[in-house]
Chains A and B, each alone.
Chain A
Amino acid sequence: ETGVTQTPRHLVMGMTNKKSLKCEQHLGHNAMYWYKQSAKKPLELMFVYSLEERVENNSVPSRFSPECPNSSHLFLHLHTLQPEDSALYLCASSLTGTAVGYTFGSGTRLTVV
């Protein structure tokens, strides 16, 4: 375990479903991130929560909605997804102001049917 825990590990959902991905870290980090990893594509940064502020990639569709209730937890709420949203979703955390680096979770493999 890296210290960043993501659940579930795998998720299959229909296009009309609503689901949430969860990420949790107790590393004392103060920034958390959602990344999307599609096949043969580089990581795509979706959202950043740093010091309780949210920064988002404007290209991310509104059917993805992040929530960060505190510095240790991060959610990604999903609704009315499309098949092209099937990908590996990675959560990461870091301590801003240092070069310690990112700690990534193992990811949630999402399949939209």
Chain B
Amino acid sequence: SNSVKQTGQITVSEGASVTMNCTYTSTGYPTLFWYVEYPSKPLQLLQRETMENSKNFGGGNIKDKNSPIVKYSVQVSDSAVYYCLLCQTSGSRLTFGEGTQLTVNP
């Protein structure tokens, strides 16, 4: 069965770089989406990763079942919940991670 695991909470100071992991288990090679949720706003797509462009995002490789997202020089306004979504290639299975609460202190 599919599963997605994310780091629960991360707290950093402004200007820091942050890596948020998304470790998944899948029977195939799915598409991975990152969504960000700012307070009181709907989910917004941050990035997507497929087998074809896995080399362009973060330090992970979707083949290794870990697909992190890296944010550099974060600001207070980057404080949000970041969700990782696993989508099977058939589109019939969706698995959300529990989200990473990023808090950036001034």
| Residues of A participating in the B interface, judged by any CB pair closer than 8 Å | 33, 37-40, 42-43, 45, 48, 87-88, 90, 96-99, 101-102, 104, 107, 109
Interface centre among B39, B43, B101 (most CB of A within 10 A): B43
Number of residues of chain B lying within 8 A (CB) of chain A: 24
On chain B, the residues within 8 Å of A43 by CB distance are: 33, 35, 43, 45, 85
16 contacts between A and B (CB under 8 A): A33-B42, A40-B50, A40-B87, A42-B33, A43-B45, A45-B43, A48-B42, A88-B92, A88-B94, A96-B40, A97-B39, A98-B39, A98-B40, A99-B80, A99-B81, A101-B99
Q: Which of B31, B42, B96 has the most CB of A within 10 A?
A: B42
Using known A-B contacts A99-B81, A102-B37, determine if residue A87 contacts B42 with beta carbons closer than 8 Å: no
Q: Could you say which residues of chain A place their CB within 8 Å of the CB of B83?
A: 101
Closest Cβ of chain A: how far from B98's Cβ, in Å?
A: 9
Asked if A104 and B96 make an inter-chain contact with CB atoms under 8 angstroms apart, the answer reads: yes
Known contacts A42-B48, A43-B35, A43-B43; is-contact A109 B81 (Cβ 8 Å): no
Whether A37 contacts B91 by the Cβ 8 Å rule is yes
- B13 in the interface, Cβ–Cβ < 8 Å? no
Since A37-B87, A99-B39 are in contact, a sample of 12 more A-B pairs with Cβ atoms closer than 8 Å, ordered by chain A residue number, is A37-B94, A39-B91, A42-B35, A45-B42, A45-B43, A88-B92, A90-B94, A96-B40, A99-B101, A101-B81, A102-B43, A109-B92
